[in-house]
């Protein structure tokens, strides 16, 4: 619920969540087409301009979250998705 209060273009929205009859948890969230930062880094170093652009977007999203009192406790390259515009 807290994530939906952030309202930032680089933060996903979660539309629903719950538990299935068999006990598994689920989230229904925005679909981000692209690849993870981890995948991009596995293909070699990023261009400096690209890395700075990605870092700026991550910092902006974290600032928006922190302004709303939300702390991301699992920030890692696997949890950063790069849209089709990022190489």
For this structure, is 74 an active site residue? yes
Which of 30, 56, 74, 78 is labelled catalytic?
Answer: 74
The C-alpha angle 79, 43, 86, rounded to 5 degrees, equals 60
- For residue 39, the 8-state DSSP code is H
What are the CA-CA distances from residue 45 to residues 12, 21, 25, 49, 53 (Å)? 26, 44, 35, 12, 14
| Phi, psi dihedrals of residue 51, rounded to the nearest 5° | -60, -45
Which residues are part of the catalytic machinery? 74
């Amino acid at each position: 619920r807290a994530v939906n209060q952030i309202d930032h273009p680089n933060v996903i929205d979660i539309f629903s969540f719950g538990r299935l009859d068999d006990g598994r948890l689920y989230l229904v969230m925005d679909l981000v087409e692209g690849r993870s930062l981890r995948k991009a880094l596995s293909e070699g170093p990023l261009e400096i301009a690209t890395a700075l652009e990605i870092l700026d977007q991550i910092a902006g999203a974290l600032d928006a979250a922190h302004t709303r009192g939300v702390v991301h406790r699992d920030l890692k390259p696997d949890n950063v998705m790069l849209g089709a515009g990022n190489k």
